């Protein structure tokens, strides 16, 4: 199972929006609505931000939103804030196994 493809980095100024893509195949992202997104700050454990493509756990700001089209999932951060600077990983169910994305570093300029 190959890792899902994410851009290495994205950046934006405070208040702007950024979108991170996560491209897989019909065997993972395209085949199931079980895509989740995780935020990881340096030296910390990952934190769940989005699950089942577009659902937000309680406590996650509504600035974070998710979507999917065919084999590509996306995470959008609207109204970018300094604390959003972190690494982000997508993850997809792939029929009994899971696969993570390559990871994207979000920089707040």
Partner 1 sequence: QVQLVQSGAEVKKPGASVKVSCKSSGYTFISYYIHWVRQAPGQGLEWMGLINPSGGSTIYAQKFQGRVTMTRDTSTSAVYMDLSSLRSEDTAMYYCARARAWFGELDSWGQGTLVTVSS
> Contact residues for partner 1 (CB under 8 A)?
1, 3, 32, 34, 36, 38, 40, 45-48, 51-52, 57, 89, 91, 93, 96-103
- Nearer of residues 94 and 108 to partner 1, judged by Cβ: 94
Is 5 exposed, middle or buried (CB count within 10 Å of its CB: 0-12, 13-18, 19+)?
A: middle
Nearer to partner 1 among residue 30 and residue 46 (C-beta): 46
Q: Which helix (H) or strand (E) holds 99?
A: strand 98-100
Residue 31 Cβ vs partner 1, minimum distance, rounded to whole Å: 11
CB of 84 to partner 1, least distance (A): 19
Distance (Å) of CA 26 to CA 17, 39, 61, 63, 69: 28, 25, 30, 28, 11
């Amino acid at each position: 199972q190959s890792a899902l493809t994410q851009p290495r980095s994205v950046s934006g100024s405070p208040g702007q929006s950024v979108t991170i893509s996560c491209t897989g195949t019909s065997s993972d992202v395209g085949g199931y609505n079980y895509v989740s997104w995780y935020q990881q700050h340096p030296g910390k454990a990952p934190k769940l931000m989005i699950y089942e493509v577009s659902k937000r756990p309680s406590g996650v700001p509504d600035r974070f939103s998710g979507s999917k089209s065919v084999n590509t999932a996306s995470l959008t951060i609207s109204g970018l804030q300094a604390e959003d600077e972190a690494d982000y990983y997508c993850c997809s169910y792939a029929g009994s196994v899971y696969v993570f994305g390559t990871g994207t570093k979000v920089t707040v300029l």
